[in-house]
Amino acid sequence: MSVDTSNIAKEGGGVFGWLDRRYGLTPLVEFMKHKEVPVGVHSMFWYYLGGATLFFFMMQVCTGSLLLLFYQAGESTSYESIRFITTKVPFGWLVRSMHCWSAHLMIISLVTHMFSTMMLKAYRPPREMTWVTGFILLSLALGFGFSGYLLPWNELAFFATAVGTDSMKAVPGIGDFLLQVLRGGTDVSINTLHRFFGLHVVILPLVMVGLVTAHLLVIQRQGMAPPQGHKTAPKGMRFFPDFALRDLQLWLMCLIVLASLAVFLPYGPHIPGIEWELGKKANPLAPAYPGIKPEWYFLWIYQLLKEFPAHFLGMEGSQAAVLLVGLLMGAWAMMPWLDRRAQRDEASPGFTDIGAATLIFLGFLLFKAWDIGGGGIGDKLPDPVLTARICAFWWLGIASVATALRATVLHQRYFLFTAATALQIALHGLLGMQYLAAGGIALVALVIGLLVLRSRGQAVPEVRS
Amino acid sequence: MPTNDTEPVRTRRSLLDLLLGVGFIGFAASALYPVLRYLKPMASAGPGGPLKLTADEVGKLAKEHSIITRLGTGRVLVFEDAQQNLRALDARCTHEGCTVQYVPGDSVIWCACHNGRYDLDGRVLAGPPPRPLALYGCTRDPDGSVTIQPPKKGES
């Protein structure tokens, strides 16, 4: 489309007029004026989470660029330059702290955004690609976290990277090649740091910006998803200025929260997986120390790696665990195609329940990875049986309260997946069964339950509030 | 030219399309191959020959009962058991590649990452490791120095 420049010699209209005559901005302004956000039967809150994630990403770009001015990647400089930034450079501690906090807050808002999209079935046609691009953005965000973790070149970073990259070998056929490409050798070394540095500051940001643009463009083109059951939104709110101002207000609140956390807890809340004390410099010849854990959003994978025995179904345990994670993530990415009812714009209570069950599944693994209730203090290692029992009490309690709320407040009637997850937790935590054996029994019970539901005709319809 | 309905029509155009497709694939492969070779790290020296521990390392071994040292591209755990015999094992856990440690009190080799346990010959006792640790040769020479021999091929 070319712009009509016949009236370019005209004058007046100020800066806008000057630009408008050259670039034809009026249609764009008209589009903005008429852009609306659907106001549905559910809370508007969920519509702001994507914007909050974008805000934290922009904070990452700003603080990351500032860190780049002092950070020097290298065997004898990485750790030292981070120490210099946090101890000598004026406000260096604040910039690093904001970068770390913003990374965690970005993952939190991203995951919440994804779950809200899932629960509201906003991925249903025609918005499948919004879901898929969003899923890839989540993978990239995890890649950012993983690659950034190594850059301070401290002990924690070294072993987290050794374990994280080692799982690459589970990829059939090209696992060893991928492992070597990622590490720049057979072992984690300073070559790995150089590769991760390149990934973290150039390759991932470029891909991320491209994909964020694509994600926003498809949303602009299609508008936000109206509530389920409505082809168009019952009513709309103008994007400019009504929604944009609310968005801006949220960004301001995010900034206040971020700055407060960064100032008052500059090294994180001291929860394993959410702390960034520099600690000791990485020494490839030092043994791993007890209590070493990856970042909290990888803890469920870390715990699964622990739950698998040395060999499972003819595979090495870690291969089987990585395969399971791959299958679960793949199924999650394919959600818009798996959810047939949502495709027909019908209520799909089964998938709402899958969302709830997924949260319980992940939460239980997270608590176990934190050894909650295991009694590990000082040199004493936590007791795995006791940990499983206490974590089971926690998550069976949380699941009961959540299910009661869903039944009474949201009038939902489908809890099969939640029940299967709770069964696994109860068998494992309360009866002391192996995690995988309990999972197998829960899976069989789930399949029987689904078959019974199918033989009865169809799933119990979800009554929407 | 009369053609059967079930047979695809072969024209000069389809031949050109085929050649163009092959050309594109060839072009992509010729661009991708150098990139992949560039990314793959160059071959390293391998496990290397026998290694004599330095005086510092021997001193540390006597004091702390264990040390971890490099042999070629590998890491080796050298330790002194309760009977004061010297032993050497691959220090890389076979589960996820963390560095293991010698726990003299329990007479086990332990990996802190996922709680894998091995006996002093490197055999798996408990936890997720799928394979034993490779056993290295380790001898104390009459002059007090310590020599590590890499495992023979097939042993590791």
Local confidence band at A244 (pLDDT 50, 70, 90 cut-offs): confident
Residues 6+ away with beta carbon under 8 Å from A145:
A103, A107, A295, A297, A298
To the nearest whole Å, the CA of A102 is away from the closest chain B CA by 27
Same domain, A374 and A280: no
Same domain, A149 and A172: yes
Residues 6+ away with beta carbon under 8 Å from A102:
A56, A59, A60, A63, A258
Q: Which residue has the higher pLDDT, A459 or A120?
A: A120
To the nearest whole Å, the CA of B111 is away from the closest chain A CA by 7
Q: Which residue has the higher pLDDT, A407 or B95?
A: A407
Determine the straight-line distance between the first and last CA of chain A, rounded to whole angstroms: 46
Beta-bridge mates of residue B139: B147
Q: Is the pLDDT of residue B98 over 90?
A: no
Q: Is the pLDDT of residue B47 over 60?
A: no
Q: Which residue has the higher pLDDT, A64 or B5?
A: A64
Q: Is the pLDDT of residue A463 over 70?
A: no
Least confident of A37-41, A327-331, B85-89: A37-41
A172 has a chain B CB within 8 A of its CB: no
Same domain, A17 and A50: no
Would you call B99 and A288 a contact, using CB atoms and an 8 Å cutoff? yes
The shortest CB-CB distance from B130 to any of A177, A288, A316 is to A316
Mean pLDDT estimate for chain A: 89
- Residue A319 within any structural domain of the chain: yes
ipTM above 0.95, yes or no: no
Same domain, A384 and A438: yes
Q: Is the pLDDT of residue B109 over 70?
A: yes
- Residue A302 within any structural domain of the chain: no
Local confidence band at B6 (pLDDT 50, 70, 90 cut-offs): low
Structural tokens at position A300: 């469920």
Same domain, A205 and A353: no
Same domain, A78 and A27: no
Same domain, A124 and A202: yes
Same domain, A420 and A318: no
Q: Which H helix or E strand runs over B89?
A: strand B86-90
- Distance in angstroms (rounded) separating the CA atoms of residues B67 and A286: 9
- Residue A39 within any structural domain of the chain: no
Mean pLDDT estimate for chain B: 85
Q: Which H helix or E strand runs over A119?
A: helix A92-119
Domain topology for B51-149:
Rieske Iron-sulfur Protein (2.102.10)
* Chain B, window 5-34: residues with a beta carbon less than 8 angstroms from a chain A beta carbon: none
Same domain, A23 and A61: no
- Residue A159 within any structural domain of the chain: yes
Coil/strand/helix, residue A445: helix
- Residue A341 within any structural domain of the chain: no
Q: Residues A222, A224, A229, CA angle at the centre, nearest 5°? A: 100
SS3 breakdown of chain A: % helix, strand, coil, rounded to 5? 65, 5, 30
* Chain A, window 180-209: residues with a beta carbon less than 8 angstroms from a chain B beta carbon: 180-181, 183-188, 191
Same domain, A197 and A313: yes
- Distance in angstroms (rounded) separating the CA atoms of residues B93 and B81: 19
pLDDT of res. A434: 93
To the nearest whole Å, the CA of A167 is away from the closest chain B CA by 7
Same domain, A82 and A20: no
Least confident of A224-238, A328-342, B6-20, B61-75: A224-238
pLDDT of res. B104: 86
pLDDT tens-digit series, residues B64-77: 889 999 887 788 99
* Most confident range, picked from A194-203, A265-274, A346-355: A194-203
Would you call A285 and B44 a contact, using CB atoms and an 8 Å cutoff? no
The shortest CB-CB distance from B111 to any of A288, A302, A308 is to A288
Structural tokens at position B60: 């540390």
- Distance in angstroms (rounded) separating the CA atoms of residues A276 and A97: 8
Chain B residues inside the 8 Å CB shell of A185: 41, 44, 73
- Distance in angstroms (rounded) separating the CA atoms of residues A77 and B88: 33
Amino acid identity, position A287:
P
Q: Is the pLDDT of residue A337 over 60?
A: yes
pLDDT of res. A400: 97
Q: How many domains does chain A have?
A: 3
Interface with A, mutate which of B96, B100, B102 (most A CBs under 10 A): B96
Amino acid identity, position A400:
S
Structural tokens at position A461: 């319809």
Q: Is the pLDDT of residue A221 over 90?
A: no
Q: Is the pLDDT of residue A435 over 60?
A: yes
Domain extent at residue A214? 44-296+307-329
Would you call B96 and A186 a contact, using CB atoms and an 8 Å cutoff? no
**Average of per-residue pLDDT across B73-102:** 89
- Distance in angstroms (rounded) separating the CA atoms of residues A324 and A303: 13
Would you call A181 and B124 a contact, using CB atoms and an 8 Å cutoff? no
pLDDT of res. A418: 96
Q: Is the pLDDT of residue A94 over 90?
A: yes
**Angle formed by the axes of helices A204-222 and A128-150, nearest 10°:** 160
Same domain, A123 and A239: yes
Least confident of A8-17, A67-76, A246-255, B118-127: A8-17
A140 CA to centre of own chain: 9
**Does a cis peptide bond (omega within 30 degrees of 0) precede residue A126?**
yes
Residues 6+ away with beta carbon under 8 Å from A320:
A308, A312, A313
Q: Is the pLDDT of residue A199 over 60?
A: yes
Q: Residues A169, A320, B116, CA angle at the centre, nearest 5°? A: 80
